[in-house]
Amino acid sequence: MSHTDKTTVAIAGGGPAGIMLGLLLARAGVDVTVLEKHRDFLRDFRGDTVHPSTLQVLDELGLAEELEKRPHRKVTSLTVGRSGDPIVQADLASLPGRFPYVAMMPQWDFLDMLTDHARAYPGFRLLMNAEAVGIAEEDSAVRGIRYRERTEGEDGGGREHELRAVLSIAADGRDSGLRDAAGMVPTELGAPMDVLWLRVPRGSADPSGLNGSLGEGAMAVAIDRGEYWQIAFLIPKGGFEAVRAEPIASFQETLLGLLPFLGDNVREIDDWSKVAFLNVTQDRLERWYRPGLLAIGDAAHAMTPVGGVGINLAIQDAVATANLLSRPLLEAQSDPDRFAKTLNPELLARVQRRRRMPTVGTQAVQQLLQRQVISRALAADAELPLLLRAIGGTGPWSAVIARVMMYGLRPEHVRSAAVATPAHGGAGPPA
């Protein structure tokens, strides 16, 4: 049996884009319902880099102190090396602003922190185990989201519901089903690599922070997660079967060659079942909206892991969307005929106009690094890429690239009003 429910904004996807937008809209007094298909945020295949631009947004929301209380590590240096010799050593501590570092926070902790805060606003509702399965459509406009309740471990079945909304948001990530249901098809930009994702215990004498390493025909990035290294091992696109055909011992040797500090701990990877395969894509929608529907975050533009910028772009999209739309949504909320009307699509176009340049620019930087550094490392090109030599020096380019990657091309600031008051006594709207 199904039933119909109503909200002002229905958001598919409880990732960084969806949760941050839900928080900001609820804070502005807009009723919002976020649908997340999983029962919690505890998934391993998520990045954990919270960049200075996002830290700034958290500070504007009064959450900087809250972040300090939660488990995270501050990374102020970024090293990319070859055969143990550093090529790039970026010192983030010299960046301008109050947060000259990357906070490494498991994404589940980051999302828990945002939802804990968002739940204190009366207009915020988060439905877990709720999978968006399609759009509700009338007169060529999207009028809401159809979703079904998932029960543990099942993929089909479950009760189906309709959530009517003035505006629906596709924030359901790079494989967005809502975007597909709305007939919006992204343009593939391509990526030369896929990623193998694995954990190796961290020894007490190990370095810290983010450590990238270029080899001949291989490349890896080790992310310091305290007790263990989260390792992204890059392979040529589509090359997993060939890598897996090798004995696990030779994979261990390659890893050790790239990241010598792993030492004997590398033997923990004694079976391919401990190595997960992640397909890397990069794409972008030509048009991020349809009447009644807006795509943000990876649903509008899938980012590759290069530079660890995807979460931060998703957050910036959410901030820009709330800045531009919270007032018209608040007005629409008081209209008794709101569910038969369509929010002016020109407002949605403004969000795309605002966020298109930083998206295209960041994807272009990712493409450049992929072509110049990753493809060449994976092709066993012994010559050090010109780009790395340029970044590796102390010249102005290293500072420019570090700044673009850390702050983004158009950092957003929270401008949407804080109308609603959180129910708890914690961080609330600024006075």
Q: Closest Cα to residue 313, out of 171, 197, 178?
A: 171
Q: Which is nearer to ligand FAD, 332 or 373 (CB)?
A: 373
Q: Which is nearer to ligand FAD, 31 or 298 (CB)?
A: 298
Reduced to 3 states, what is the DSSP secondary structure of residue 388?
helix
Q: Which is nearer to ligand FAD, 143 or 338 (CB)?
A: 143
103: enclosing H helix or E strand: strand 102-104
Phi, psi of 360 (to 5 degrees): -60, -40
Binding site for ligand FAD (CB under 6 A): 12-18, 35-38, 46-49, 131-132, 171-173, 177, 195, 278, 280, 297-299, 303, 305, 308-312, 314
Q: How far is the CB of 271 from ligand FAD (least distance, A)?
A: 21
CA distances in angstroms from 407 to 38, 55, 307, 360, 414, listed in the order given: 30, 10, 11, 15, 15
Within 10 angstroms of residue 43's Cβ, the number of other Cβ atoms is: 10
Question: What is the bridge-based pairing of β-strands 276-278 and 124-127?
Answer: unpaired
Q: Which is nearer to ligand FAD, 17 or 324 (CB)?
A: 17
Q: How far is the CB of 272 from ligand FAD (least distance, A)?
A: 18
Q: How far is the CB of 130 from ligand FAD (least distance, A)?
A: 6
Q: Which is nearer to ligand FAD, 35 or 294 (CB)?
A: 35
**Using alpha carbons only, how large is the chain's radius of gyration in Å?**
22
Q: How far is the CB of 241 from ligand FAD (least distance, A)?
A: 18
Give, to the nearest 10 degrees, the angle between helix 310-333 and helix 345-369. Answer: 180
Total number of residues shown for the chain: 431
Q: How far is the CB of 222 from ligand FAD (least distance, A)?
A: 12
Q: Which is nearer to ligand FAD, 47 or 411 (CB)?
A: 47
Residue in the block written with tokens 């009366």: 122
Q: How far is the CB of 91 from ligand FAD (least distance, A)?
A: 20
DSSP, res 97: S
Q: Which is nearer to ligand FAD, 283 or 298 (CB)?
A: 298
Q: Closest Cα to residue 20, out of 96, 113, 132, 84?
A: 113
Within 10 angstroms of residue 103's Cβ, the number of other Cβ atoms is: 21
Where helices occur in 259-344 by DSSP H, the ranges are: 310-333
Q: How far is the CB of 290 from ligand FAD (least distance, A)?
A: 17
